[in-house]
């Protein structure tokens, strides 16, 4: 077991798309003169908060945001940096996607400090990019990549939900009135789909607002290229929000049809 389990990974960015993996000692000995750094910490470890308070130099309000047990997506400026809270779908084995995983990020010109409570596959995506020399070039670019990867991984989940509602609609339409369709099964699935859509939208809507605010902030390390990437991600999040609204609307239509079918069977 690692002597410092609070450290999941740390990288020194070379500004060309590659990152040098750092151990705990090297991460602690970092200075801005050495380049930009990304430190990713496990929020479940008690030493994480202690290190943040003793060695990070961050404001206590920022540290509270990085270590809070419950968070909602938001973007707030503090001095020369930004606190960004994001949520991603839970793709861990056996988990419900709507049980969204939080990523808490501090960004300034030379540092990104991120914390998580559960594994987030978007982190693995960016680590792989750094290992192959196709990673982010700066701290702002790193956060833009993380946000884009989290959004990309939402897409298939939302598409699958939409397809399932469409299949349920077709299944219900296939009822000729002879009782071939199990209306109780339809009702159970319908309730679940609406619950998932509402749960996802609860976090995705404020996430769009947080990323939109980040894209509009005027910071020297948030250059035009990074802001452009963030705006693209905001557009994708907006489309995901619209798809969730469509799922809810189609579910309502299926619900009305379900009520009609139940009434018809009772009359018969």
C-beta atoms surrounding 76 within 10 Å: 14
Helix (H, G, I), strand (E, B) or coil at 164: helix
Question: How far is residue 91's CA from residue 96's CA, in Å, rounded to a whole number?
Answer: 8
Provide the pairing of β-strand 36-42 with 111-116: parallel
**For residue 234, what pLDDT is reported?**
96
> pLDDT tens, 165-178?
888 877 777 655 55
Percent of all residues in the chain with a pLDDT value above 90, rounded to a whole number: 63
Question: How far is residue 252's CA from residue 254's CA, in Å, rounded to a whole number?
Answer: 5
Nearest to 5 by CA among 36, 35, 48, 52: 48
What is the helix (H) or strand (E) element at residue 263, kind and residue range? helix 224-267
Q: At what angle do helices 183-216 and 224-267 cross, to 10 degrees?
A: 160
CB-neighbour burial class of residue 119 (10 A; exposed 0-12, middle 13-18, buried 19+): middle
Q: Which tokens hold the place of 103?
A: 């990523």
pTM of the model: 0.90
Looking at every residue in the chain, the average pLDDT score rounds to 89
Regarding predicted confidence, which is higher, 39 or 246? 39
**For residue 119, what pLDDT is reported?**
92
pLDDT at 123 over 90: yes
Helix (H, G, I), strand (E, B) or coil at 210: helix
**For residue 165, what pLDDT is reported?**
86
> pLDDT tens, 229-259?
999 999 999 999 999 998 888 887 777 777 7
Q: How confident is the model at residue 265 (pLDDT cuts 50, 70, 90)?
A: low
C-beta atoms surrounding 85 within 10 Å: 21
Question: How far is residue 207's CA from residue 72's CA, in Å, rounded to a whole number?
Answer: 8
> pLDDT tens, 173-226?
765 555 566 777 777 888 888 888 888 998 999 999 999 999 999 888 899 999
| CA dihedral (72, 73, 75, 78) positive or negative | positive
């Amino acid at each position: 077991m690692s002597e410092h389990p609070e450290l999941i990974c740390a990288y020194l960015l070379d500004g060309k798309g590659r990152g040098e993996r750092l151990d705990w000692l090297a991460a602690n000995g970092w200075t801005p003169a050495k380049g930009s750094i990304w430190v990713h910490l496990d929020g479940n470890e008690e030493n994480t908060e202690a290190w943040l308070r003793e060695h990070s130099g961050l404001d206590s309000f920022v540290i509270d945001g990085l270590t809070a047990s419950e968070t909602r997506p938001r973007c707030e400026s503090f001095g020369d940096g930004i606190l960004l809270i994001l949520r991603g779908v839970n793709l861990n084995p056996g988990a419900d996607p709507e049980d969204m995983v939080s990523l808490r990020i501090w960004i300034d010109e030379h540092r990104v400090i991120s914390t998580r409570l559960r594994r987030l596959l978007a982190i693995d995506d960016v680590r792989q990019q750094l290992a192959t020399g196709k990673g982010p070039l700066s701290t702002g670019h790193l956060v833009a990549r993380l946000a884009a990867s989290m959004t990309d991984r939402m897409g298939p989940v939302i598409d699958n939900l939409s397809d399932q509602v469409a299949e349920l609609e077709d299944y219900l339409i296939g009822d000729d009135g002879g009782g071939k369709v199990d209306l109780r099964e339809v009702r159970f699935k319908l309730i679940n789909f609406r619950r998932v859509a509402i749960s996802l939208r609860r976090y995705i809507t404020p996430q769009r607002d947080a990323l939109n605010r980040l894209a509009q902030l005027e910071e020297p390390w948030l250059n035009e290229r990074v802001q452009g990437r963030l705006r693209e991600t905001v557009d994708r999040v907006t489309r995901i929000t619209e798809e969730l609204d469509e799922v809810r609307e189609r579910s309502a239509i299926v619900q009305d049809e379900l009520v009609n079918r139940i009434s018809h069977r009772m009359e018969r």
